Amino acid sequence: MKKFKKSLAVVLTLAMVVASMTGCKKDKVENVDTKDTDTTVVTPGAESTPVPEKVVVQDVTLKVWASEEEQEVMTANCEAFAVAHPEYNLTFEYAVIGNAEACDELKKDLEIAADVFVYPSAAIPELKAAGILYPITIEDAEVVKQSNGAGAITACTSDDLLYGVPQSPNSWFMYYNKSLFTQDDIKSVEAMLAKDLGDGVSNFSCKISDSWFMSAYFYALGGTLYGTDGTDPTSCSWNDANGLTVGNYLINLSKNIKYVEDIDGIASSLFKEGKLGAVCSGTWSAVDFKAALGDNYGATVLPTINVEGTDYQLSNFADFRAFGVKSNTAYPIPAQQLACFLGNEQSQLATYVDQGIAPSVSSLAQNEIVAADLAVTALLQQSNYSTPQPSTPQLSEYWNPAIAFGTGIINGDITEANLQESLDAMVKSFTTKLVE
């Protein structure tokens, strides 16, 4: 029995030790699970005007995402931000996530996501519905709204709240071979297709099988996707009479031997061999096409299409790369300020000079360095003809059926016979939700 009492004493002491240890461990896990966000941050004094008397310097750590090649210029811009805000003791963390991957990474794990990141404004409906974005409402936002064009701000706004600071238009226009087409030719698709450029040379290339490009044709004839302002998830006019006309136009275009579908980067190779007149693409191809065409490099706005005697301007989706702030950031005000700063004129000019990324700030369009860049000028001019991307979350249902429709046309599966049927099926897929 004595042995038992002794063992019991040992056991109880051990028990207390273990309890305290496991208790601590569980606490730490708990902390990670339910992150405590101190949301009311009070900074003494206004945001950026330095106060002469005692300024309480706040420690701020901000994580920033940018693509690999933009890391340098992003670091420089962030350092400039730090200089402009002496009231913060800023530490920056950088990681490599570009425009394309940002949405997926944000949805995967918001806790370790960057406070400020670059993402496409087209994703605003879905990210906002998922509660990932922080509305940008500080005073600096007013400056943002003034310095950018209306299109940019509309693209980055939802329900009257600004969710992103525009950095660059992310859209497409047309490149062409100056030795093959004159300024008059490139104004309309018909003029381009009519010109005889020789054997084995294609005149015009686009990517109908990509839903991002295909919409331009429907928008040209005034079709509406999700209502006239893009907020009605049940309405789409693409299967009405106009839509039928567009469908037929696309079918005929794909069958035209002077047209080639731009898949797998074929356009670049054709340009190099002088076998292509014009192609629709964006600024990501600028470097490559410039190398391929040399002195014959030209870029311009999208052409018009001629349907039943009238010319209609092709109208692309107005999409923008924007700086966003995540909703569970620990430093909402500094993060919003950083986002606005990274999108201001000075930062955009630096980014353009370093990486050739087109700026969205209106004043920079007149800047001589920028104006000399054909691709950027074309992009900025095209934004006058762009249609704002729909802001309803239902937009996520648009992309796949549209790809299926475009692919069907290119493959010849969709013909005039089943065109109306296909259009109806497509519109139905756009506008229905499966289950609540």
Partner 1 sequence: MKKKLIHVGESFTGCMRQYTGGNIFVKLSAILMGIANIRYGQIVKGIGYLCLQIAFITYMVSTGAASLVNLDTLGTHKQEMILNEETKIFDVIQGDNSMRMLLSGVVAMFVIAFFVLVWISSIKSGIQVFHLSRDNKKIPRITDDIVSLFDSNIHRMMLFIPLAGLLVFTVVPLIYMILMAFTNYDVNHQPPGNLFEWIGLNNFKLLLMSKDILAKTFWPVLGWTIVWAFFATFTNYVGGMLLAILINNKGIRFKKVWRTIFVLTIAIPSFVGLLVLRTMLNKAGSINILLQNMGFITKALPFLTNATWARVSVIIVNMWIGIPFTMLITTGILTNIPADLYESAKIDGASAFKTFLRITFPYMFYVTTPYLIHNFISNVNNFNPIYFLTNGGPETLDYFKGAGKTDLLVTWLYKLTSDSKDYSYAAAIGIIIFIISASLSLIIYTRSGAYKDEEGFQ
Partner 2 sequence: MNKFSGIKTKYLKIVPFIGLIPILLLFLNYISINSSNEHFTGFDIVSALLKAMSEDGISLTNSFALAIIIIIPVIILLSSCIALLKPRKYIIYFMIGMYALELIGIVISLLSMKGYIDSSKFLEVKFLIKYLAVGFWGAFVIQLIGIIIAMKSVKVSPGYIILFVMSVIWLFPILNIVLNSFRGEGGFYIGYFWPKSFTFDNYVKVLTDTSRYYYVKWYLNTLMVATCSCIITSFLVLSTSFILSRIRFGGRRPLMNLLLVLGMFPGFMSMIAVYYILKGLGLSQSLISLIMVYSAGAALGYYICKGFFDTIPKALDEAASIDGATKWQVFTKIIMPLSKPIIIFTILTSFMGPWADYIFASIILGDKSQSYTIAIGLYNMLSRDTIEEWYTCFAAGAVLVSLPIAFLFLRLQKYYVEGLSGSVKG
Residue 100 lies near partner 1 (rule: CB under 8 A)? no
Q: Tell me which of partner 2, partner 1, none is bound by residue 134, counting a contact when its beta carbon lies within the kind-specific cut-off of 5 to 8 angstroms.
A: partner 1
Which residues does 388 contact at the CB level (< 8 Å), separation at least 6?
151, 154, 155, 230, 318
Whose Cβ is closer to partner 1: residue 41's or residue 76's? 41
Q: Tell me which of partner 1, partner 2, none is bound by residue 284, counting a contact when its beta carbon lies within the kind-specific cut-off of 5 to 8 angstroms.
A: partner 2
Would you list the DSSP string of 209-238? TSHHHHHHHHHHTT--BSSTTS--TT-B-T
Residue 32 lies near partner 2 (rule: CB under 8 A)? yes
Residue 405 lies near partner 1 (rule: CB under 8 A)? yes
Size of site (CB under 8 A) for partner 2: 25
Among 284, 363, 400, 412, binds partner 2 (CB under 8 A): 284
Cα–Cα distance measured from residue 338 to residue 325, given in angstroms and rounded to the nearest whole number: 9
> Residue 91: beta bridge partners?
61
Tokens of 336: 């919003």
Which residues does 280 contact at the CB level (< 8 Å), separation at least 6?
172, 173, 174, 175, 205, 206, 207, 213, 262, 302
Would you list the DSSP string of 279-301? EEEEGGGHHHHHHHHGGGEEEE-
Among 79, 139, 142, 273, binds partner 2 (CB under 8 A): 273
Contact indicator for 304, 129 with CB cutoff of 8 Å:
no
Question: Contacts with partner 2 in 288-317 (CB under 8 A)?
Answer: 288
Residue 212 lies near partner 1 (rule: CB under 8 A)? no
Residue 268 lies near partner 2 (rule: CB under 8 A)? yes
3-class DSSP assignment, residue 259: strand
Question: Contacts with partner 1 in 220-249 (CB under 8 A)?
Answer: none
Alpha helices per DSSP H over 34-99: 71-84
Residue 112 lies near partner 1 (rule: CB under 8 A)? no
Q: How wide is the angle at C-alpha 210 spanned by C-alphas 204 and 213, nearest 5°?
A: 60
β 172-177/297-300 pair status: antiparallel
Residue 240 lies near partner 2 (rule: CB under 8 A)? no
Alpha helices per DSSP H over 60-176: 71-84, 102-108, 124-129, 140-147, 150-155
Whose Cβ is closer to partner 2: residue 29's or residue 417's? 29
Residue 27 lies near partner 1 (rule: CB under 8 A)? yes
Cα–Cα distance measured from residue 259 to residue 256, given in angstroms and rounded to the nearest whole number: 5
What are the strands, taking DSSP E only, across 308-400?
Answer: 310-313, 317-318, 320-325, 387-388
Whose Cβ is closer to partner 2: residue 285's or residue 389's? 285
Count the alpha carbons within 13 Å of 266 in the hemisphere toward its beta carbon. Answer: 15
Closest separation between CB of residue 436 and partner 2, Å?
23
Phi, psi of 145 (to 5 degrees): -65, -30
Closest separation between CB of residue 190 and partner 1, Å?
25
Interface mask toward partner 1 for 35-74; x: CB under 8 A: x-x-xxxx--------------------------------
Cα–Cα distance measured from residue 235 to residue 401, given in angstroms and rounded to the nearest whole number: 15
Whose Cβ is closer to partner 2: residue 251's or residue 292's? 292
Question: Contacts with partner 2 in 346-405 (CB under 8 A)?
Answer: none
Whose Cβ is closer to partner 1: residue 244's or residue 425's? 425
Among 6, 26, 108, 255, binds partner 2 (CB under 8 A): 108
Q: Tell me which of partner 2, partner 1, none is bound by residue 401, counting a contact when its beta carbon lies within the kind-specific cut-off of 5 to 8 angstroms.
A: partner 1
Closest separation between CB of residue 19 and partner 2, Å?
21
Tokens of 202: 């294609």
Cα–Cα distance measured from residue 347 to residue 98, given in angstroms and rounded to the nearest whole number: 17
Residues that bind partner 1 (CB under 8 A): 4, 7-8, 10-11, 14-15, 18-19, 22-23, 26-27, 29-30, 33-35, 37, 39-42, 104, 107, 110, 126, 128-132, 134-135, 137-139, 263-264, 266, 327-328, 332-333, 336, 393, 396-397, 400-401, 403-405, 407-408, 410-411, 413, 422, 425-426, 429, 433-436
